[in-house]
Chain A
Amino acid sequence: GAGVSQSPRYKVAKRGQDVALRCDPISGHVSLFWYQQALGQGPEFLTYFQNEAQLDKSGLPSDRFFAERPEGSVSTLKIQRTQQEDSAVYLCASSGRTGGYEQYFGPGTRLTVT
């Protein structure tokens, strides 16, 4: 079946612009995660949803970052007033009720802030 999809795959933003990154999880997966992967580093957790509830947002680096999942399916990560340090790959992952904590990742959105 279809995996996790993300759009756009690449985004170039001028410093100060707002951006919105979209994630379509695997159908039926209740859990959704966002991670940030800086160049040459491992992914770092940003936020977690169970259905539409945002249960953990402890990884969001500042109040410029905001995520939502209003209907418990598609999620959007929004970054306001982008800064150069926001340049990274943003990965979305979803997880079903397997009990094994497996997360299935999308291809990511590469954000470049100029």
Chain B
Amino acid sequence: AQSVTQLDSQVPVFEEAPVELRCNYSSSVSVYLFWYVQYPNQGLQLLLKYLSGSTLVKGINGFEAEFNKSQTSFHLRKPSVHISDTAEYFCAVTPRTGRRALTFGSGTRLQVQP
């Protein structure tokens, strides 16, 4: 079984400041990792994914994430946020083999203030 922990339920930040959203996971098998964003009253949109290779992955809207196997972490970063980045962000994992379902964290609300 897998579990995902997003330690921060809310992260307030000023516009143009950097931000890091933390994600830690637990799994007995190797996993793929994802970050999704959810805007109000919308479904989830894929920001980025880690499948293999370079541990630093770049996604849409200027976001990037780094996979750290030893610390079982996959933190999301952006060097300079915009008001439009205000949304809920979810970290998710799925096993590399077998069950295809995503296991999500509880989400982090990013609030960008002017």
Q: Which residues of A contact B (CB under 8 A)?
A: 4, 31, 33, 35, 40-45, 48, 56, 59, 91, 93, 95, 100-108
Contact = CB atoms under 8 A, between A and B. Distances in A.
Contact of A91 (B32, B43, B49, B106): B43
B100 A43 contact: no
B107 A105 contact: no
Given A100-B49, A105-B44, A107-B43, A45 B101 contact: yes
Contacts, number: 59
Interface residues of B, number: 24
B100 A100 contact: no
A45 B107 CA distance: 15
Contacts of B51: 100-101
A33 B106 contact: no
Given A42-B106, A100-B49, A105 B43 contact: yes
Contact of A56 (B44, B90, B100): B100
B100 A101 contact: yes
A5 to B, nearest CB: 10
Contact of A95 (B4, B100, B103, B106): B100
B67 interface: no
B102 interface: yes
A4 B107 CA distance: 22
